[in-house]
Amino acid sequence: MKVVRRVHTTQKNKSKIIKEFSRFAKEYDRHNIIQSEVAKQLVAHLCIKKYPAIIDIGCGSGEIYKNIQKNYIFFDHFIAVDLSKEMLEIHPSGNAVEKISTDFNAAEAYASFDTQAEALIISSSALQWSQDLDFTFSWISKKAKKAYFAIFTSSTFKTLHRAAKIHSPIYTEDQLKQSIDKYYNALYETHAYKLHFESVYEMLNYIKKSGVSGGEKKLTYKQVKNLIKNYPLDYLEFEVLFVDATSRYFA
Ligand SMILES: C[S@@+](CC[C@H](N)C(=O)[O-])C[C@H]1O[C@@H](n2cnc3c(N)ncnc32)[C@H](O)[C@@H]1O
């Protein structure tokens, strides 16, 4: 069964981030090496093996769903949430799978699926694009008691940002923790990853197609030229905050 339920979103909300994900949706699986590893590690954190519902926020092409299947974690209902319809189209379908196209930065998203204390909320490599962390975590924390998040931090591409003299468009580890702590009792782990490349040009191409930059920061031709000349590493750096969270709302 293929259900793509669409919750109304204005064109203004459909940011550059989503346009980039949609543009490269078909190629996403070839460029999501790190996100794929992150989703695998996040699912490995799940202790309970059966849930009435699993809600995957920013589900993309289904890395979480695939790992949940591989790890024999069972559910009655899987809700795959993503603003990009192109990503939802390539997410696995099934009788128990409901796909909802909606924006986790908008309140209407949280009316599009039921609150269920015993459900599991999971989100991998997506919430770094929250426009307002307090808004997002406050809503998410009211939908289910248990949540697992993996969120890229601003130390991702840190040497590249330094070399290009730009600020990371995403949150620091401290900013993430400060907001999450308001709504959850949380345990944290930070993991660093390296991805090696033959050239800086290949690195920039990877960044574009993997959606990690989200298209929010476009370098000028001059910045790209400088970067190719001055980037000191033959790898890209990534940093991800893993969160095992229990909502205070249900305490
Ligand atoms: C880097 S991908 C990760 C996908 C998947 N969770 C994984 O681990 O491979 C981020 C996903 O978040 C989605 N996304 C970004 N901003 C969003 C928003 N505001 N609302 C809903 N989905 C969003 C994108 O469309 C994309 O599919």
What does the pLDDT read at residue 215?
A: 52
Spell out the domains of the chain, with CATH numbers in brackets. 4-247 (3.40.50.150)
**For ligand 1, atom 26, which residue shows the shortest CA distance?**
60
In this structure, the number of other CB atoms found within 10 A of the CB of residue 247 comes to 21
Q: CA-CA distance, 163 to 31, in Å (whole number)?
A: 23
pLDDT per residue over 90-136, tens digit each? 999 999 999 999 999 999 999 999 999 999 999 999 999 999 999 99
Who wins on pLDDT, 72 or 203?
72
226 Cα to the center of ligand 1, angstroms? 30
In this structure, the number of other CB atoms found within 10 A of the CB of residue 47 comes to 6
Axis-axis angle for helices 221-230, 200-210 (nearest 10)? 130
Atom of ligand 1 nearest to the CA of 21: 25
Q: Is 32 in the pocket of ligand 1 (CB under 6 A)?
A: yes
pLDDT per residue over 32-64, tens digit each? 889 999 999 999 999 999 999 999 999 999 999
Q: For a substitution probing ligand 1, which of 18, 19, 42 has the most ligand atoms within 8 Å of its CB?
A: 18
The DSSP letter of residue 32 is -
Q: Is 17 in the pocket of ligand 1 (CB under 6 A)?
A: yes
122 Cα to the center of ligand 1, angstroms? 12
Q: Which residue has the tokens 């790992």?
A: 67
**For ligand 1, atom 13, which residue shows the shortest CA distance?**
58
Which one, of 100, 122, 121, 119, lies nearest residue 109 by Cα? Answer: 100
Specify the pTM.
0.90
Q: CA-CA distance, 53 to 74, in Å (whole number)?
A: 9
Whether the CB-CB separation of 176 and 156 falls below 8 Å is answered with no
Burial of 222 (0-12, 13-18, 19+ CB in 10 A): exposed
